[in-house]
Chains A and B, each alone.
Chain A
Protein backbone atom coordinates (compact mmCIF):
# COMPACT_ATOMS: atom_id res chain seq x y z
CA UNK A 1 0.00 0.00 0.00
CA UNK A 2 1.27 3.43 -0.92
CA UNK A 3 0.04 6.78 0.38
CA UNK A 4 0.18 9.73 -2.00
CA UNK A 5 0.16 13.18 -0.41
CA UNK A 6 -0.14 15.85 -3.09
CA UNK A 7 -0.24 19.51 -2.07
CA UNK A 8 -2.16 20.89 -5.05
CA UNK A 9 -5.13 19.80 -7.13
CA UNK A 10 -3.03 19.66 -10.33
CA UNK A 11 -0.56 17.33 -8.66
CA UNK A 12 -3.38 15.21 -7.23
CA UNK A 13 -5.00 14.83 -10.66
CA UNK A 14 -1.75 13.61 -12.19
CA UNK A 15 -1.42 11.02 -9.44
CA UNK A 16 -5.07 10.07 -9.93
CA UNK A 17 -4.48 9.48 -13.65
CA UNK A 18 -1.38 7.39 -13.01
CA UNK A 19 -2.79 5.49 -10.01
CA UNK A 20 -6.56 5.17 -10.43
CA UNK A 21 -6.50 2.31 -7.90
CA UNK A 22 -5.57 4.72 -5.08
CA UNK A 23 -8.65 5.52 -2.98
CA UNK A 24 -9.09 9.21 -2.13
CA UNK A 25 -9.25 10.05 1.58
CA UNK A 26 -10.32 13.39 3.10
CA UNK A 27 -11.85 13.32 6.60
CA UNK A 28 -11.45 9.55 6.77
CA UNK A 29 -14.74 9.00 8.61
CA UNK A 30 -15.81 6.33 6.10
CA UNK A 31 -12.58 4.92 4.68
CA UNK A 32 -10.71 4.59 8.00
CA UNK A 33 -13.43 2.36 9.42
CA UNK A 34 -12.97 -0.01 6.48
CA UNK A 35 -9.19 0.04 6.91
CA UNK A 36 -9.37 -0.43 10.70
CA UNK A 37 -11.62 -3.45 10.34
CA UNK A 38 -9.68 -4.96 7.47
CA UNK A 39 -12.67 -4.75 5.12
CA UNK A 40 -10.64 -2.96 2.53
CA UNK A 41 -6.98 -3.14 1.58
CA UNK A 42 -6.53 -0.68 -1.26
CA UNK A 43 -3.30 -0.75 -3.22
CA UNK A 44 -2.96 2.95 -2.63
CA UNK A 45 -4.48 5.89 -0.78
CA UNK A 46 -4.64 9.41 -2.16
CA UNK A 47 -4.75 11.99 0.64
CA UNK A 48 -6.74 14.99 -0.63
CA UNK A 49 -6.80 16.76 2.75
CA UNK A 50 -3.91 19.05 1.78
CA UNK A 51 -5.42 20.44 -1.42
CA UNK A 52 -6.24 24.13 -0.89
CA UNK A 53 -8.69 24.07 -3.83
CA UNK A 54 -10.94 21.65 -1.93
CA UNK A 55 -11.00 23.87 1.18
CA UNK A 56 -12.63 26.86 -0.51
CA UNK A 57 -16.04 28.40 0.01
CA UNK A 58 -16.83 31.04 -2.63
CA UNK A 59 -19.87 33.14 -3.35
CA UNK A 60 -20.57 35.07 -6.49
CA UNK A 61 -23.97 36.73 -6.49
CA UNK A 62 -26.36 33.97 -5.50
CA UNK A 63 -23.99 31.19 -6.62
CA UNK A 64 -22.32 29.22 -3.84
CA UNK A 65 -19.28 27.00 -4.37
CA UNK A 66 -18.45 24.62 -1.54
CA UNK A 67 -15.13 22.78 -1.69
CA UNK A 68 -15.37 19.01 -1.33
CA UNK A 69 -12.91 19.04 1.57
CA UNK A 70 -14.67 21.58 3.80
CA UNK A 71 -15.61 19.83 7.05
CA UNK A 72 -19.18 19.97 8.36
CA UNK A 73 -18.11 22.13 11.33
CA UNK A 74 -16.98 24.83 8.90
CA UNK A 75 -20.19 24.60 6.87
CA UNK A 76 -22.17 25.25 10.06
CA UNK A 77 -20.02 28.30 10.84
CA UNK A 78 -19.54 29.74 7.36
CA UNK A 79 -22.78 28.91 5.51
CA UNK A 80 -25.45 29.48 8.17
CA UNK A 81 -27.70 31.21 5.61
CA UNK A 82 -27.86 27.97 3.59
CA UNK A 83 -30.20 26.78 6.32
CA UNK A 84 -31.06 23.29 5.06
CA UNK A 85 -27.41 22.37 4.50
CA UNK A 86 -26.25 23.96 7.76
CA UNK A 87 -28.95 22.09 9.69
CA UNK A 88 -28.04 18.83 7.97
CA UNK A 89 -24.36 19.39 8.78
CA UNK A 90 -25.27 19.90 12.42
CA UNK A 91 -26.87 16.43 12.57
CA UNK A 92 -23.80 14.60 11.28
CA UNK A 93 -22.14 12.30 13.84
CA UNK A 94 -20.60 14.18 16.75
CA UNK A 95 -18.34 17.23 17.16
CA UNK A 96 -15.31 15.04 16.46
CA UNK A 97 -16.88 13.68 13.27
CA UNK A 98 -18.04 17.12 12.11
CA UNK A 99 -14.47 18.41 12.46
CA UNK A 100 -13.41 15.85 9.85
CA UNK A 101 -16.33 14.68 7.69
CA UNK A 102 -16.94 16.46 4.38
CA UNK A 103 -19.56 16.85 1.66
CA UNK A 104 -17.03 15.38 -0.76
CA UNK A 105 -17.02 12.29 1.43
CA UNK A 106 -20.81 12.07 1.36
CA UNK A 107 -20.67 12.25 -2.44
CA UNK A 108 -17.77 9.80 -2.74
CA UNK A 109 -19.41 7.23 -0.47
CA UNK A 110 -22.80 7.89 -2.12
CA UNK A 111 -24.70 6.28 0.72
CA UNK A 112 -28.47 6.92 0.69
CA UNK A 113 -27.92 8.03 4.31
CA UNK A 114 -25.42 10.81 3.50
CA UNK A 115 -26.89 13.69 5.50
CA UNK A 116 -25.66 16.50 3.23
CA UNK A 117 -27.06 14.90 0.11
CA UNK A 118 -30.77 15.84 0.49
CA UNK A 119 -29.72 19.48 0.83
CA UNK A 120 -27.69 19.24 -2.38
CA UNK A 121 -30.76 17.67 -4.01
CA UNK A 122 -33.12 20.50 -3.03
CA UNK A 123 -30.52 23.05 -4.15
CA UNK A 124 -30.32 21.22 -7.49
CA UNK A 125 -26.58 21.35 -6.93
CA UNK A 126 -23.99 20.46 -9.51
CA UNK A 127 -21.02 18.31 -8.57
CA UNK A 128 -17.75 19.79 -9.84
CA UNK A 129 -15.42 17.04 -11.04
CA UNK A 130 -11.90 17.40 -12.36
CA UNK A 131 -9.37 15.20 -14.10
CA UNK A 132 -5.99 15.98 -15.63
CA UNK A 133 -7.88 16.38 -18.93
CA UNK A 134 -10.28 19.04 -17.66
CA UNK A 135 -13.33 19.52 -15.52
CA UNK A 136 -17.05 18.91 -15.79
CA UNK A 137 -20.23 19.66 -13.87
CA UNK A 138 -22.74 16.89 -13.21
CA UNK A 139 -26.13 17.41 -11.61
CA UNK A 140 -26.46 15.63 -8.24
CA UNK A 141 -29.03 13.37 -9.89
CA UNK A 142 -26.63 12.21 -12.59
CA UNK A 143 -23.83 11.83 -10.08
CA UNK A 144 -25.64 9.69 -7.49
CA UNK A 145 -26.53 6.71 -9.65
CA UNK A 146 -27.35 4.10 -6.99
CA UNK A 147 -26.66 2.78 -3.52
CA UNK A 148 -22.98 3.51 -2.83
CA UNK A 149 -22.49 4.13 -6.53
CA UNK A 150 -21.62 7.40 -8.21
CA UNK A 151 -20.58 8.59 -11.66
CA UNK A 152 -17.01 9.51 -10.71
CA UNK A 153 -14.59 8.39 -13.42
CA UNK A 154 -11.43 6.53 -12.26
CA UNK A 155 -9.22 9.50 -13.18
CA UNK A 156 -11.46 12.14 -11.58
CA UNK A 157 -11.65 13.81 -8.19
CA UNK A 158 -14.61 15.55 -6.59
CA UNK A 159 -13.59 19.21 -6.32
CA UNK A 160 -16.78 20.58 -4.80
CA UNK A 161 -20.43 21.41 -5.33
CA UNK A 162 -22.07 24.50 -6.73
CA UNK A 163 -25.62 25.76 -6.53
CA UNK A 164 -27.78 28.79 -6.98
CA UNK A 165 -28.91 29.73 -3.46
CA UNK A 166 -32.71 29.65 -3.41
CA UNK A 167 -34.60 32.45 -1.66
CA UNK A 168 -37.04 31.07 0.91
CA UNK A 169 -37.13 28.98 4.06
CA UNK A 170 -35.53 25.55 4.16
CA UNK A 171 -35.04 22.84 6.75
CA UNK A 172 -33.52 19.43 7.34
CA UNK A 173 -34.80 16.83 9.77
CA UNK A 174 -34.02 13.20 10.37
CA UNK A 175 -35.22 10.30 12.47
CA UNK A 176 -32.86 8.21 14.57
CA UNK A 177 -32.44 6.65 17.97
CA UNK A 178 -30.59 9.60 19.51
CA UNK A 179 -29.52 13.13 18.68
CA UNK A 180 -25.93 12.23 17.85
CA UNK A 181 -24.01 9.48 16.05
CA UNK A 182 -27.10 8.47 14.13
CA UNK A 183 -27.36 6.97 10.69
CA UNK A 184 -30.75 8.27 9.64
CA UNK A 185 -33.68 5.87 9.55
CA UNK A 186 -35.32 8.52 7.39
CA UNK A 187 -34.41 12.11 6.60
CA UNK A 188 -36.03 14.97 4.74
CA UNK A 189 -35.04 18.31 3.33
CA UNK A 190 -37.58 20.90 2.27
CA UNK A 191 -36.71 24.09 0.44
CA UNK A 192 -39.07 26.87 -0.64
CA UNK A 193 -38.15 28.68 -3.83
CA UNK A 194 -39.91 32.05 -3.67
CA UNK A 195 -38.76 33.15 -7.15
CA UNK A 196 -40.11 30.06 -8.90
CA UNK A 197 -43.01 29.74 -6.45
CA UNK A 198 -42.02 26.15 -5.92
CA UNK A 199 -41.29 23.61 -3.22
CA UNK A 200 -38.48 21.10 -3.32
CA UNK A 201 -38.43 18.00 -1.18
CA UNK A 202 -35.66 15.40 -0.94
CA UNK A 203 -35.54 12.18 1.08
CA UNK A 204 -32.65 10.20 2.53
CA UNK A 205 -32.37 6.64 3.81
CA UNK A 206 -35.69 5.62 2.27
CA UNK A 207 -34.52 4.46 -1.14
CA UNK A 208 -31.48 3.22 -3.05
CA UNK A 209 -30.26 6.80 -3.26
CA UNK A 210 -31.53 10.32 -2.53
CA UNK A 211 -35.06 10.80 -3.89
CA UNK A 212 -37.02 13.92 -4.80
CA UNK A 213 -40.76 13.87 -4.10
CA UNK A 214 -41.87 15.47 -7.35
CA UNK A 215 -45.61 14.89 -6.93
CA UNK A 216 -45.61 16.30 -3.42
CA UNK A 217 -43.61 19.31 -4.63
CA UNK A 218 -46.12 20.10 -7.40
CA UNK A 219 -49.09 19.54 -5.13
CA UNK A 220 -47.63 21.72 -2.36
CA UNK A 221 -46.84 24.57 -4.73
CA UNK A 222 -50.39 24.35 -6.10
CA UNK A 223 -51.88 24.47 -2.62
CA UNK A 224 -49.99 27.66 -1.83
CA UNK A 225 -51.12 29.08 -5.16
CA UNK A 226 -54.78 28.27 -4.51
CA UNK A 227 -54.59 29.72 -1.01
CA UNK A 228 -52.97 32.87 -2.37
CA UNK A 229 -50.07 32.20 0.00
CA UNK A 230 -47.31 32.94 -2.54
CA UNK A 231 -48.49 36.56 -2.62
CA UNK A 232 -49.73 36.74 0.95
CA UNK A 233 -47.68 34.54 3.31
CA UNK A 234 -50.33 35.08 5.99
CA UNK A 235 -53.01 33.36 3.91
CA UNK A 236 -54.30 30.18 5.53
CA UNK A 237 -53.21 26.89 3.98
CA UNK A 238 -55.74 24.14 4.76
CA UNK A 239 -54.53 21.54 7.27
CA UNK A 240 -55.80 18.62 5.19
CA UNK A 241 -53.65 19.86 2.29
CA UNK A 242 -50.58 19.76 4.53
CA UNK A 243 -51.53 16.21 5.55
CA UNK A 244 -51.94 15.17 1.92
CA UNK A 245 -48.56 16.75 1.14
CA UNK A 246 -47.12 14.36 3.73
CA UNK A 247 -48.89 11.39 2.16
CA UNK A 248 -47.58 12.26 -1.30
CA UNK A 249 -44.07 12.61 0.10
CA UNK A 250 -44.33 9.18 1.73
CA UNK A 251 -45.52 7.76 -1.60
CA UNK A 252 -42.28 8.96 -3.21
CA UNK A 253 -40.21 6.88 -0.80
CA UNK A 254 -38.97 3.47 -1.82
CA UNK A 255 -37.82 2.05 1.52
CA UNK A 256 -36.70 -1.39 2.63
CA UNK A 257 -36.72 -3.25 5.94
CA UNK A 258 -33.28 -3.27 7.51
CA UNK A 259 -31.52 -3.32 10.86
CA UNK A 260 -32.42 0.33 11.55
CA UNK A 261 -36.12 0.24 10.74
CA UNK A 262 -38.91 -1.25 8.69
CA UNK A 263 -40.11 0.02 5.33
CA UNK A 264 -43.53 0.78 6.83
CA UNK A 265 -42.00 2.85 9.63
CA UNK A 266 -39.81 4.75 7.18
CA UNK A 267 -42.79 5.56 4.97
CA UNK A 268 -44.72 6.78 7.99
CA UNK A 269 -41.72 8.85 9.09
CA UNK A 270 -41.56 10.54 5.68
CA UNK A 271 -45.19 11.65 5.97
CA UNK A 272 -44.60 13.07 9.46
CA UNK A 273 -41.33 14.80 8.53
CA UNK A 274 -42.89 16.33 5.40
CA UNK A 275 -45.89 17.62 7.29
CA UNK A 276 -43.68 19.18 9.95
CA UNK A 277 -41.24 20.66 7.44
CA UNK A 278 -44.02 22.29 5.44
CA UNK A 279 -45.59 23.64 8.63
CA UNK A 280 -42.24 25.15 9.68
CA UNK A 281 -41.79 26.70 6.23
CA UNK A 282 -45.29 28.21 6.30
CA UNK A 283 -44.62 29.55 9.80
CA UNK A 284 -41.31 31.06 8.68
CA UNK A 285 -43.00 32.72 5.71
CA UNK A 286 -45.76 34.03 7.95
CA UNK A 287 -43.14 35.44 10.34
CA UNK A 288 -41.60 37.25 7.40
CA UNK A 289 -38.41 35.24 7.35
CA UNK A 290 -38.41 34.85 3.59
Chain B
Protein backbone atom coordinates (compact mmCIF):
# COMPACT_ATOMS: atom_id res chain seq x y z
CA UNK B 1 0.00 0.00 0.00
CA UNK B 2 2.82 2.38 0.90
CA UNK B 3 4.11 2.55 -2.65
CA UNK B 4 0.74 3.87 -3.80
CA UNK B 5 0.46 6.64 -1.25
CA UNK B 6 0.40 10.25 -2.31
CA UNK B 7 1.65 13.37 -0.60
CA UNK B 8 -1.05 15.80 0.51
CA UNK B 9 -0.11 19.20 1.91
CA UNK B 10 -2.69 21.48 3.42
CA UNK B 11 -3.04 24.39 5.78
CA UNK B 12 -4.67 23.17 8.98
CA UNK B 13 -5.55 25.69 11.66
CA UNK B 14 -3.02 28.14 10.25
CA UNK B 15 -0.15 25.70 9.92
CA UNK B 16 1.04 23.86 6.79
CA UNK B 17 0.97 20.11 7.41
CA UNK B 18 1.60 17.18 5.11
CA UNK B 19 1.22 13.44 5.06
CA UNK B 20 1.46 10.48 2.72
CA UNK B 21 -2.05 9.14 2.39
CA UNK B 22 -3.84 6.42 0.45
CA UNK B 23 -5.19 8.18 -2.68
CA UNK B 24 -8.77 7.21 -1.77
CA UNK B 25 -8.50 8.52 1.80
CA UNK B 26 -10.93 11.10 3.09
CA UNK B 27 -9.90 14.40 4.64
CA UNK B 28 -11.43 13.08 7.88
CA UNK B 29 -9.12 10.08 7.99
CA UNK B 30 -6.10 12.23 7.15
CA UNK B 31 -6.91 14.68 9.94
CA UNK B 32 -7.37 11.89 12.48
CA UNK B 33 -4.97 9.15 11.45
CA UNK B 34 -2.12 11.19 9.99
CA UNK B 35 -2.29 14.56 11.71
CA UNK B 36 -3.57 13.47 15.13
CA UNK B 37 -6.49 15.90 15.15
CA UNK B 38 -8.99 13.66 16.92
CA UNK B 39 -11.54 16.39 17.62
CA UNK B 40 -12.90 15.62 14.16
CA UNK B 41 -14.96 12.48 14.81
CA UNK B 42 -15.43 9.45 12.62
CA UNK B 43 -19.17 8.85 12.92
CA UNK B 44 -20.96 7.56 9.85
CA UNK B 45 -18.55 8.10 6.92
CA UNK B 46 -21.52 8.99 4.72
CA UNK B 47 -22.28 12.63 5.52
CA UNK B 48 -25.31 11.82 7.67
CA UNK B 49 -24.10 12.66 11.19
CA UNK B 50 -22.01 15.84 10.89
CA UNK B 51 -19.54 14.70 13.57
CA UNK B 52 -16.64 15.23 11.18
CA UNK B 53 -17.62 18.82 10.30
CA UNK B 54 -14.69 21.13 9.51
CA UNK B 55 -14.21 24.33 7.56
CA UNK B 56 -12.76 23.89 4.08
CA UNK B 57 -11.79 27.27 2.64
CA UNK B 58 -14.19 28.84 5.14
CA UNK B 59 -17.20 26.63 4.42
CA UNK B 60 -18.52 23.94 6.71
CA UNK B 61 -18.33 20.50 5.13
CA UNK B 62 -18.35 16.87 6.18
CA UNK B 63 -14.66 15.97 6.05
CA UNK B 64 -15.56 12.32 5.44
CA UNK B 65 -16.94 13.34 2.03
CA UNK B 66 -13.88 15.31 0.93
CA UNK B 67 -11.10 13.35 -0.72
CA UNK B 68 -7.91 14.29 1.13
CA UNK B 69 -6.30 15.02 -2.23
CA UNK B 70 -9.05 17.57 -2.95
CA UNK B 71 -7.95 19.53 0.13
CA UNK B 72 -4.35 19.71 -1.10
CA UNK B 73 -3.19 23.33 -1.03
CA UNK B 74 -6.39 24.43 0.68
CA UNK B 75 -7.21 25.88 4.06
CA UNK B 76 -8.82 23.63 6.66
CA UNK B 77 -9.97 24.63 10.13
CA UNK B 78 -10.97 22.00 12.67
CA UNK B 79 -12.68 22.24 16.03
CA UNK B 80 -9.19 22.52 17.56
CA UNK B 81 -8.91 26.00 16.02
CA UNK B 82 -11.63 27.41 18.26
CA UNK B 83 -10.33 27.37 21.84
CA UNK B 84 -7.69 29.89 22.85
CA UNK B 85 -4.81 29.27 25.25
CA UNK B 86 -6.46 27.87 28.39
CA UNK B 87 -9.78 29.33 27.36
CA UNK B 88 -12.78 27.77 25.67
CA UNK B 89 -14.54 29.32 22.69
CA UNK B 90 -17.85 30.93 23.77
CA UNK B 91 -19.78 28.21 21.94
CA UNK B 92 -17.85 25.48 23.78
CA UNK B 93 -18.39 27.27 27.12
CA UNK B 94 -22.11 27.59 26.38
CA UNK B 95 -22.36 23.84 25.61
CA UNK B 96 -20.80 23.13 29.03
CA UNK B 97 -22.95 25.63 30.90
CA UNK B 98 -26.20 24.61 29.25
CA UNK B 99 -25.59 20.89 29.78
CA UNK B 100 -25.63 20.29 26.03
CA UNK B 101 -23.02 17.54 26.29
CA UNK B 102 -23.77 13.99 27.28
CA UNK B 103 -21.56 11.34 25.68
CA UNK B 104 -19.78 14.13 23.80
CA UNK B 105 -19.23 12.34 20.52
CA UNK B 106 -21.32 14.72 18.41
CA UNK B 107 -20.17 17.80 20.31
CA UNK B 108 -17.17 18.86 18.20
CA UNK B 109 -19.21 18.71 14.99
CA UNK B 110 -22.04 20.64 16.58
CA UNK B 111 -19.65 23.22 18.01
CA UNK B 112 -18.25 23.77 14.49
CA UNK B 113 -21.74 24.07 13.00
CA UNK B 114 -22.92 26.47 15.73
CA UNK B 115 -19.77 28.61 15.53
CA UNK B 116 -20.24 28.84 11.77
CA UNK B 117 -23.88 29.84 12.20
CA UNK B 118 -23.15 32.56 14.77
CA UNK B 119 -20.38 33.99 12.59
CA UNK B 120 -22.87 34.45 9.77
CA UNK B 121 -25.95 35.27 11.86
CA UNK B 122 -25.27 36.54 15.41
CA UNK B 123 -28.97 36.51 16.37
CA UNK B 124 -30.50 33.56 14.57
CA UNK B 125 -34.21 32.88 15.01
CA UNK B 126 -35.28 29.41 16.15
CA UNK B 127 -35.98 28.01 12.68
CA UNK B 128 -32.60 29.21 11.38
CA UNK B 129 -30.85 27.48 14.28
CA UNK B 130 -32.70 24.23 13.61
CA UNK B 131 -31.92 24.41 9.91
CA UNK B 132 -28.22 25.16 10.55
CA UNK B 133 -27.96 22.10 12.80
CA UNK B 134 -30.01 19.78 10.59
CA UNK B 135 -26.86 18.00 9.40
CA UNK B 136 -25.65 17.13 12.90
CA UNK B 137 -27.07 14.15 14.78
CA UNK B 138 -27.07 13.74 18.56
CA UNK B 139 -28.39 10.49 20.03
CA UNK B 140 -28.24 11.53 23.70
CA UNK B 141 -29.60 14.96 24.42
CA UNK B 142 -32.84 15.19 22.49
CA UNK B 143 -31.43 18.49 21.18
CA UNK B 144 -33.22 20.81 23.63
CA UNK B 145 -30.09 21.55 25.66
CA UNK B 146 -28.15 22.05 22.45
CA UNK B 147 -30.66 24.67 21.32
CA UNK B 148 -30.34 26.27 24.78
CA UNK B 149 -26.55 26.35 24.30
CA UNK B 150 -26.88 28.07 20.93
CA UNK B 151 -29.12 30.77 22.39
CA UNK B 152 -26.81 31.19 25.38
CA UNK B 153 -23.74 31.51 23.16
CA UNK B 154 -25.53 33.97 20.87
CA UNK B 155 -26.58 36.16 23.80
CA UNK B 156 -23.13 36.15 25.37
CA UNK B 157 -21.33 36.81 22.09
CA UNK B 158 -23.72 39.65 21.25
CA UNK B 159 -23.13 41.22 24.63
CA UNK B 160 -19.44 40.56 24.43
CA UNK B 161 -19.63 38.88 27.82
CA UNK B 162 -18.27 35.58 26.66
Q: Write out the residue numbers on chain A whose beta carbons fall within 8 Å of the beta carbon of B62.
A: 96-97, 100
Quick one: which of A140-162 are within 8 Å of B by CB? none
Stretch from B12-20, B131-139, B147-155 at the A interface: B131-139
Complex Cα spacing A99 to B70, Å: 14
Q: Is B37 an interface residue (CB 8 A)?
A: no
Quick one: which of B45-99 are within 8 Å of A by CB? 45-48, 50, 53, 59-62, 64-67, 69-70, 72
CB distance from B124 to the nearest CB of A (A): 12
Q: Write out the residue numbers on chain A whose beta carbons fall within 8 Å of the beta carbon of B46.
A: 33, 36-37
Total number of A residues with any Cβ neighbor in B under 8 Å: 28
Q: Is B23 an interface residue (CB 8 A)?
A: yes
Q: Is the interface of B mostly helix, strand, loop or mixed?
A: mixed
Stretch from A9-17, A24-32, A247-255, A257-265 at the B interface: A24-32
Interface string of B89-116 (1 = CB under 8 A from A): 0000000000000000000000001000
Are B70 and A49 in contact (CB-based, < 8 A)?
yes
Given A45-B23, A99-B61, do A180 and B66 touch, yes or no (CB 8 Å)? no
Nearest neighbor of B68 in chain A, beta-carbon distance = A3
Complex Cα spacing A39 to B130, Å: 33
Are B134 and A179 in contact (CB-based, < 8 A)?
yes
Are A95 and B113 in contact (CB-based, < 8 A)?
yes
Q: Write out the residue numbers on chain B whose beta carbons fall within 8 Å of the beta carbon of A41.
A: 24
Give chain A's interface residues, CB within 8 Å of chain B.
1-3, 5, 25, 27-29, 32-33, 35-37, 41, 45, 47, 49, 73, 93-97, 99-100, 179-181
Give chain B's interface residues, CB within 8 Å of chain A.
4, 6, 22-24, 26, 45-48, 50, 53, 59-62, 64-67, 69-70, 72, 113, 131-132, 134-136
